[in-house]
Amino acid sequence: MRDRLILLPGWGLGVSPLEPLAAALQGLDAHLRVQIEPLPLLASSDLEEWLDELDATLPDNAWLGGWSLGGMLASELAARRGERCCGVFTLASNPCFVAHEGWPNAMPVETFDGFLAGCRVDFQATLKRFGLLCAKGAEDPRGLSRLLVSGAPNLPVSVLISGLELLAKLDTRAALQAFRGPQLHLFAGLDGLVPAEAASDLLALLPDVEIGVIEQAGHAFLLEDPHGVAAAIQAFLHECVDD
């Protein structure tokens, strides 16, 4: 099913940020079947439970991709599926979202802990702050932030918190190294959530995969330029199929 592509969204904002990209991909190739899959609604931060649900829901032998947390989950699912996955691509997705000694170019622990505490106290205010960080580096950050937050689904706080807890402990480096299929990882030069320096760290870890940085863009670059991102993904897919 090399004509089937799955897109997984990021934390908290639902599927709407991926819809322009899905439409752009479909416009480039009418034979490509693009499916946006919402993240599991789990009040658990156990990675295996999240992967079990995705693995049971999503078709086999498809391309797996995602934005931010969605990209991290796509990477883990690709490693689990192995030859049952055509390839994986990630958008603004850091192998480790929260910084630690082995992966310093990520969100500082104190900043993340503030997010988590804020979500427990006032998740609406935290989501607005998150939207602003996603839109940082955009041409119209406030307008983009409003667009992101206005399309966010009304999720239970327990689900939002479990997603954040999963985000805090996820480390996809081993999964990316284990997956033998094609990989594309795109980062943003002005990202307020994932430092652009993570791209060179990932290239050092995976010297044989495709890694790019879109310089004048923020975390939500897939919404700023869906056609440009779609073209990059389409070129990657064609290159892999031609090989």
Phi-psi region of 207 (alpha: psi -120 to 50; beta: other; left: phi over 0): alpha
Q: What is the DSSP string of 186-211?
A: EEETT-SSS-TTHHHHHHHH-TTSEE
Q: Which of 52, 191, 200, 238 is catalytic?
A: 191
Residue 143 buriedness (CB in 10 A; 0-12 / 13-18 / 19+): exposed
User: From the DSSP assignment, how many helices (H) and strands (E) are in the chain?
Assistant: 11, 6
Q: Measure CA of the first residue to CA of the last residue in the chain; give whole Å.
A: 16
191 in active site: yes
User: Residue 66: enclosing H or E segment and its boundaries?
Assistant: strand 62-67
Asked if 19 and 225 touch (Cβ cutoff 8 Å), the reply is no
219 in active site: yes
Asked if 64 and 88 touch (Cβ cutoff 8 Å), the reply is yes
Q: Which of 46, 219, 242, 243 is catalytic?
A: 219
| d(C-alpha 216, C-alpha 184), whole Å | 19
Q: Which of 55, 68, 75, 171 is catalytic?
A: 68
What burial letters (b/e) apply to 11-28, b meaning 16+ CB within 10 Å? bbbbbbbbbbbbebbeeb
185 in active site: no
- Residues annotated as catalytic are 68, 191, 219
